[in-house]
Structure 1
């Protein structure tokens, strides 16, 4: 199992635990914040910086 898969499984488990601890709308806000923060950071990059980030991801795929 890859490291990325372990993080995804852990995130799903934490998401379900927050459903039992907090009201559903607090859980929804937490999940939106976790998903929205990296997306907002990526969208704030210049087009040339985005190109470098995408190239870095493709470079790692082969290793």
Structure 2
């Protein structure tokens, strides 16, 4: 199992645990924050920086 798959599974488990421990509205805010932070960071990049990030992702797919 790859490292990325382990991280995704861990994130899903933590998401379910927050749903059990915290109220629904707080869990939704936590999950949206975890998903929204990288998206906002990516959208803040210049077009040339986004192109570089996409090309790095493609390079690592074959390895």
Smaller-chain TM-score bracket: over 0.9
User: Normalising to structure 2: TM-score of the pair?
Assistant: 0.95
How far off its partner does 1:44 sit? 0.3
Unaligned runs of 5+ in 1: none
- Partner SS state of residue 45, structure 2: coil
Following superposition of structure 1 onto structure 2, how do residues 1-63 of structure 1 map, counting pairs within 5 Å?
Answer: 1-63=1-63
- Structure 1 residue runs of 4+, over 6 Å off? none
- The CA RMSD over aligned residues, in Å, is 0.6
Unaligned runs of 5+ in 2: none
Between Structure 1 and Structure 2, how many residues are aligned? Answer: 63
